[in-house]
A and B are shown apart, each in its own frame.
Chain A
Amino acid sequence: MDEFQTGEEASFLVDEVSSIIKEAIEGAIGGNAYQHSKVNQWTTSVVEQTLSQLTKLGKPFKYIVTCVIMQKNGAGLHTASSCFWDNSSDGTCTVRWENKTMYCIVSAFGLAI
């Protein structure tokens, strides 16, 4: 009888992922002001850092990490996401971060395989 029970270690833990994302953001753009020339590099490093830390957790998940960086200029911004998945095993975590010159919104989605 095939009984592949998912144990405690194979669930998407929001707090853990949230702290990983915060560390990645602080590390990449922590004390910087918005610079158009560097934004591409920043998004790449935030996303790569988050993804590598998530991989190190060693869980049977596929990950998608999205990063939005916007300059503060008085304009409004909304993000939304909807997912077609298995509610019991998959999860998402979104972290909003800002400093004086820019907003950064990072979303991480984990889908169980």
Chain B
Amino acid sequence: MAEQPFPGTAQVLAADNAEASPLRTTRRGSQPPARGSEDGKPPPLLSRRNSILSRRSSFGMVPGSRRPSWMLHRRVSFTGLPIFQPILKTRLENTYRMGPDKGCKFDAERVQRVLEGTLACALGTAAYSPQGSAPLAQSLTELLQNQAKEVVPPRYKLVCHVVLGQQGQQSLVVGSRGLWDPETDSFASATFSNVSLFAVATVYGVYFE
């Protein structure tokens, strides 16, 4: 038992009763620090505590009053305070990696080819409409992101940005700049246009340390 007690057990241990001391040591044994599931069975000692609680509550409560939800869950301590299940944060092992493996960098040309192909397939026969183009743009970003995920090496975060507009007599400029590590991070972009609409798609790949 080298690890610190979780907040829940600390609360229980702090609320000390004379009758708690013989139970405290056994309770520590029955509540292992690394509990996998939140719905684990409470140790058998709790049932004894619950019976004490129900007696207490019948004295203290006005009939017809609402009990707080945690009292009904039977996970309470001697004092009537709730024991909250500790939230287990998964600790990932240190990979000791400083950068991507050699040859495993964001391949901008490959991603650009994928983008161009996907845009041509998806928008080949599409026409611009004010109602339909908004969901089309959203579905297009998700599609492009899924396509890019397959081509991009692991440990890369992706941002996929699509601009979809009606083809008219206007001009448009799309510019972007990033603050990143130029050796590992990059972007790829592709454009598509037909008679009624145009689309500009950009995918940024950022290495996650």
Which residues of chain A have a CB within 8 Å of any CB of chain B?
2, 36, 39-40, 43-44, 46-48, 51, 54-55, 62-86, 90, 92, 107, 109, 111, 113
- A55 and B180 alpha carbons, distance in the complex (Å): 11
Contact partner, A75, options B137, B157, B166, Cβ 8 Å: B166
Q: Which residues of B contact A109 (CB under 8 A)?
A: 159, 204
Q: Point out the residues of chain A lying under 8 angstroms from B166, CB to CB.
A: 75-77
| Chain B stretch 116-150: residues in CB contact (< 8 A) with chain A | 128, 130, 133-134, 136-138, 140-142, 144-145, 149
Taken residue by residue from 151 to 170, chain B's Cβ proximity to chain A (1 for < 8 Å, 0 otherwise) reads as 00000011111111111111
Which B residues touch A79, using CB under 8 A?
137, 161-164
Known: A75-B167, A78-B137. A64 touches B159 (CB 8 A): yes
Specify which of A64, A73, A82, A113 is in contact with B168 (CB 8 Å cutoff): A73
Binding site for A on B (CB under 8 A): 94, 128, 130, 133-134, 136-138, 140-142, 144-145, 149, 157-181, 185, 187, 202, 204, 206, 208-209
